[in-house]
Amino acid sequence: MLQSFNIRRPRRNRKSEAVRAMVEETRVTTDDLIFPLFLLDGKNQKIEVGSMPGIFRFSTDLMLKEVEECMKLGIRAFDIFPAVEDQYKDKTATKSYDPNFFYLRALREIKKQFPEACIMTDVAMDPYSSDGHDGLVKDGKILNDETLEILGKMALAQADTGIDILGPSDMMDGRVGYLRDVLDKNGFTQVSIMSYTAKYASGFYNPFRDALDSAPKFGDKKTYQMNPANRTEALIEAELDTQEGADFLMVKPALSYLDIIRLLKDNSSLPIAAYNVSGEYSMIKAAALKGWLDGERVMKETLLSMKRAGADIILTYFAKEFASLK
């Protein structure tokens, strides 16, 4: 038998719920979360994403109701993505900066009705591009610098609606600095940039592409999204984004890249965001529907793992469900 004076007994700090709560090192709250939402054109539209159980695409009128419900639950930050019909797509994404397009009109209305909400938007060509790529395509190649001019127009149009954070997800070189310069020169110095710093060419994005019908029409995104095998490259991207004026650094996906979250956290003084992407959400939902996992428990554990790895902010489709459990 072990002699009590020779050993420490960590179990003493686990003996009751009250004691466990006192010594708990990591907690996830609704203040940590950003809820991604999908916007549709039209009225009275609420369509579930087939590959994302419990996640819907909303027209503006119902999106306003959804935001209101979430605000009452304690969720105050939303990342809003447009589902654009093919008829509005072209090679240069012209609808992305048309002030009369439904997405920009909706952003104005959301900020008008909920000025206290933090609204984030996506800056990339793929939702509006007939090619389905994040950048301008010519002769089968993604043109970097020519894309920046289009992204600049898009960013200005979004900033003009009153939104709070721009999320350049395109992974073009130099886009953070270009957008920061364009925003500042046009008086939008208070608009933040959350850069998709380490965005990997991942297989976890398919349900998101279903939601927006934004899959590339040819090839893949490996010439601009990062190789999943690389860690050090994330530090290069983080250093560049910081120098160019980013306010937040993001890692995407999150669950399979917890080491990258920790790497950036240990090497940057900027807040680190983690995007708990659609495929990560759908895996848990599918297993829970089959009865193979306790969905609620695994959801909490998954979010906790991202926070514990160093994420200050988590973009997650679980946000409303998590908040509803409080």
Q: Annotated catalytic residue: which of 89, 221, 252, 307? A: 252
Q: Is 252 a catalytic residue?
A: yes
Which position among 89, 95, 199, 307 bears the catalytic label?
Answer: 199
Q: How far apart are CA 109 and CA 104, in angstroms?
A: 9
Contacts of range 101-107, beta carbons closer than 8 Å, 24 or more positions apart: 102/39, 102/41, 102/60, 103/39, 104/157, 104/158, 104/160, 104/161, 105/60, 106/39, 106/60, 106/63, 106/80, 107/80, 107/158, 107/161, 107/162, 107/163
Q: Output the six-digit token pair for 160.
A: 């003009």
Catalytic residues: 199, 252
